[in-house]
Amino acid sequence: MLKLHFAPNSRAGRIVWLLEELKLPYEINKMAFHPKDLKSDEHRARHPLGRVPVLDDGDISIFESGAIVEYVIARHKNGGLKPKEDSPLYPKYLQWFHYCEGMVMPPVNTIVVQTVLLPTERRDEKALSQAQRLLSKALEPVNEALAGKDYLIGDFSAADIMLGHACFMSNRLGCVGAEMVHLKAYVNRVANRQAFKTAIEMQ
């Protein structure tokens, strides 16, 4: 049985979504998004920085959401939710899978820090506005790529698990402008998937 160490409003939501899409059995260790849980000795033994998600699979323990997604589809679904390596879609799949953490999540992290995590007196409006601009720029190519497509490479894939979750969060933060019509429609499609709803309801 797969066991997911989870905290609300984190990248662990991606893994719940993945497991639900693949209809794999799993159990959840739900922790508070708070140092008393995440920085405990028990959880630091799973992740040295006290972060989530962490997935246990028997004697195997793995962290980093992208690594967990790749591990699960390789070990438990024989490559499901990804194109074959010789498919013409495979390069685009890889590109958007990794675009998430490379380009979209860094400014999202800054925005969350500056609007949620820091007390008001420590927030930096300049850092916030710069991150908002960077996020909007990072989302523009995603909007363009979705023209005429329901999902990033056409059919739903694990690239959507990674980047779709980030786009949903970006929209929640008010950084998907009305002019990004393809991205707005994509976020709605993602939000209406039953597996995604299950993941979000755990937040």
- State how far the Cα of 57 lies from the Cα of 95, in Å rounded to an integer: 27
Q: Are 172 and 200 in contact (CB under 8 A)?
A: no
Q: What is the mean pLDDT of residues 184-192?
A: 98
Q: What percent of the chain has pLDDT over 90?
A: 95
CB within 8 A of 132, min separation 6: which ones? Answer: 107, 111, 175
| pLDDT above 80: residue 203 | no
pLDDT for the residue numbered 79: 81
- State how far the Cα of 158 lies from the Cα of 18, in Å rounded to an integer: 8
| pLDDT above 80: residue 132 | yes
Task: Strand 2-6: give its sheet, edge to edge.
Answer: 26-30, 2-6, 54-57, 60-63
What is the residue-averaged pLDDT of the chain?
Answer: 96
| pLDDT above 90: residue 202 | no
pLDDT for the residue numbered 137: 97
Q: What is the mean pLDDT of residues 31-44?
A: 95
Closest by CA position to 163, among listed 77, 74, 95, 63: 95
pLDDT for the residue numbered 20: 97
pLDDT for the residue numbered 170: 97
pLDDT band at 78 (very low <50, low <70, confident <90, very high): confident
Please tell me the pTM assigned to this model.
0.95
Domains present along the chain, CATH in parentheses: 2-81 (3.40.30.10), 90-193 (1.20.1050.10)
Q: What is the mean pLDDT of residues 146-174?
A: 97
Q: What percent of the chain has pLDDT over 70?
A: 100
Q: What is the mean pLDDT of residues 53-76?
A: 97
Residue 9 falls in which region: left (phi positive, over 0), alpha (psi -120 to 50) or beta: left
